[in-house]
Each structure stands twice: as structure tokens, then as C-alpha cells.
Amino acid sequence: MNKTYNVDAFGLPDWAVSQIAGLGTRQMPLNYSGHAMREAINDRYGILPATAFPKVFKWADNWSIVEVETASTTHRPRILTKFVVRRAVDANRSLVLVIARDGVDWNVKTLWTNLNNDQHATLDKSKFEKP
């Protein structure tokens, strides 16, 4: 059973945050889907410089966790399957990455920019679990 948690809805499970933060300075290579690459050039807030898109994910690079998706099996009750992170890329915009597990690899499924002052007025809390 999959569960999705959002930091602004009800918060995130401590164990999931620990798993991501546990990456520390370890570099996790990222593959960008075709959809993510199209979104990068069609974003409503304009194209970001190529340097904004990391080739590897490092938790130590000032990312904030926005959302996590988890799965459970009989033998593994806490499997992190997807996470959404955000960091400022300039004075006005933040890059948001949706990173999903594909076997042993992590792929950027999609991405977008948000304004740094976005208050998330459209967040539908009914879509998220409480930790």
C-alpha cells in the first residue's frame, strides 16, 4: 500500500526524512525523464540555467523535502519510493524535483519551478496521510 506525505499538509514521517538526510554528502546519480526535460524548457516561470539541474543529488546541497511517497510489503514496511525536494536557484525561483525509484536507480520524473514566496494555496490536504 502506497502512502503519500506532504510537509505542508501534515508533515513527514521521521524515518523517511532520516533516509533522505542519511544520504548526507553521498552522490546519487540522477537520470532525467523526457517529460522532465520538456518541463525544464516549458516552465511558466522561464528557463533556468543548465547549472540549476544537478547531475547528482546530494542532500548536503541545501534541498528541502516537500513530499515523500512510501510503500509497504510484508517483509519491508518502510520503503521510500518517491520524494519531492526543492531549493532556491535564484532570488525569485526554486527548482522542484520529483525523484522516483526505478529498481536501484533514482530518476527525475518531472520538475518545475516555483516562486520562492509561493504559499501553496492550492494544496489539497485530503490527498495526504498523517505521519
Model pLDDT, residue 21: 82
Distances (CA, A) of 41 to 45, 53, 85: 10, 12, 19
Residue spans per domain, the chain: 3-115
Mean pLDDT of 24-47: 90
pLDDT band at 124 (very low <50, low <70, confident <90, very high): very high
Residue closest to 67 by CA, chosen among 126, 25, 8 = 8
Contact call for residues 71 and 81 (beta carbons, < 8 A): yes
pLDDT band at 120 (very low <50, low <70, confident <90, very high): confident
Long-range contacts of 21-24, Cβ-Cβ distance < 8 Å, separation of 24 or more: 21/59, 22/59, 23/57, 23/58, 23/59, 24/58, 24/59, 24/60
pLDDT band at 125 (very low <50, low <70, confident <90, very high): very high
Q: Which residue has the higher pLDDT, 103 or 16?
A: 16
> 92 — phi, psi (to 5°)?
-115, -20
Distance CA 115, CA 23 (A): 27
Distance CA 94, CA 98 (A): 13
Q: What is the pLDDT of residues 51-104, one digit of tens each?
A: 899 999 888 788 999 999 999 887 887 889 999 999 999 999 999 999 998 888
- Neighbouring-strand partners of residue 69: 4, 82
Distance CA 90, CA 116 (A): 9
To the nearest 10°, the Cα dihedral for 49, 37, 23, 25? -30
